[in-house]
Amino acid sequence: MNDSLAKLLLRRSAAGPEPILSGRDAAPFLGPAFARLLAKGILTELPPASSWPPCAGCTCGFGERPIVEIDGRLVADCPDDANAGTVLDAADLRSFAIAVDRLVAMLAAGTGWLDPPERLAAGVWRLGDLAEGRAVVLVVDPLAFQPSVLLPILRAVPAPPSTTLLVPSGVDADTRRPFLDMRYHLVGLLYALHPTDLSLQRDRLAPSATGAPATDAGGMLLAINVLGVTASFVGAQLRLRPRDFDVLSVLAREAADGQALARQDDLLRALSGGEDRAEPIAVEQLEKSISRIREALCSAAELRRQQGRDLIVNVTRRGYRLASPPIRVVLA
């Protein structure tokens, strides 16, 4: 199983109750692995398309465009303007229905769980338990990852400290925060996915996957799980405001990429949540955020507060950088 195909199928499965994989998306992956998915009924090829959506920005009032052959080419013909037709290829006419229940069952089996996954609700499955009794719950649909929707469903599984939630793409930090406050362990689904097989990497499903051990010969370990919105420093969990976490993530990403310097504009954008505001975030607010992060790092490492300036260095009028070394960054 090509890892991009596995990720593609899981992303498409988040689209609703009857997800479709287009022929254009499927084309790069056609081959033995794709054929096995067809044979197992995880994918089912649908009848070829005979019509195509209207032109982008169509003002003619026409519905679907018929697909016709013109001079040996497949064309989605515009009834109003012959020059507005869209040229298609054979792959565009193909599409495949995704049987999400079967896809999830294959994911669980590939991870080593012998019993089939338990469907808790639409888009939510209990895949199985780890050796220590930790339940692993998969949420495929981002719309299901809301406290009002998901918390009643989770009454059927162990208490929060003993449950890992696999988070789909598209769930923002503010939505994840209530689950973290209740001590659920959150792991990004695509982060946990095996790079070559349709299976999960078990060592990424338990809390230790995002934090400890934190000190080693490589220095002071700062571990950040961006999807789970969790961070630890020298083995201690950091309790940060959501926007402070975003600022720390920018600092850590630059340090991990070897760039060191996080530009002031990027840090201000992170502090604003990436939103355009009528009143821009002031530099003074960024300074306060950096101060809070320094204080959290010092508290975790049992350092004097004054030492925080040695951990996050101010580069005048340019930005800030993590002191690396001694800090060693691991991003998840």
Q: What is the pLDDT of residue 294?
A: 93
Give residue 136's identity as a one-letter amino acid code: V
Mean pLDDT, residues 255-279: 76
DSSP labels, 95-159: EEEE-HHHHHHHHHHHHT--SPPEEEETTEEEEEE-TTS-EEEEE--GGG-SHHHHHHHGGGS--
3-state helix, strand, coil in the chain (%, to 5): 40, 25, 35
Mean pLDDT, residues 166-191: 82
Least confident range from 97-106, 200-209, 269-278: namely 269-278
Mean pLDDT, residues 169-181: 78
Confidence of residue 84 (pLDDT cuts 50, 70, 90): low
Least confident range from 95-99, 137-141, 194-198: namely 194-198
The sign of the torsion formed by the CA atoms of 325, 327, 329, 330 equals: positive
**169 compared with 5, residue with greater pLDDT:** 5
Mean pLDDT, residues 216-241: 74
- pLDDT for 146 beyond 80: yes
Distance of alpha carbon 123 from alpha carbon 256, whole angstroms: 34
Q: What is the pLDDT of residue 137?
A: 96
Q: Contact, 145 vs 167, CB < 8 A?
A: yes
- Residue among 272, 228, 222 at smallest CA distance from 248: 222
- pLDDT for 188 beyond 70: yes
The mean predicted confidence, pLDDT, of the chain is 82
- pLDDT for 31 beyond 70: yes
φ, ψ dihedrals at 39, nearest 5°: -65, -35
Q: Coil, helix or strand for 203?
A: helix
- pLDDT for 52 beyond 90: no
What domains can be seen in the chain, in order of their start residue? 3-52+65-98 (no CATH), 101-207 (no CATH), 211-331 (1.10.10.10)
Q: Contact, 99 vs 44, CB < 8 A?
A: yes
Mean pLDDT, residues 135-145: 93
- Residue among 297, 128, 109 at smallest CA distance from 214: 297
What are the structure tokens assigned to 229, written together? Answer: 């919105």
Confidence of residue 215 (pLDDT cuts 50, 70, 90): very low
What are the structure tokens assigned to 318, written together? Answer: 């340019």
Nearest 5°: the CA angle 204, 207, 212 is: 95
**24 compared with 260, residue with greater pLDDT:** 24
Percent of the chain exceeding pLDDT 70 equals 86
Helices (H), 189-282: 189-192, 242-256, 264-271
- pLDDT for 332 beyond 80: no
Q: What is the pLDDT of residue 189?
A: 86
Confidence of residue 154 (pLDDT cuts 50, 70, 90): very high
Q: What is the pLDDT of residue 44?
A: 96
pLDDT tens per residue, range 93-128: 888 999 999 999 999 999 999 999 999 999 999 999
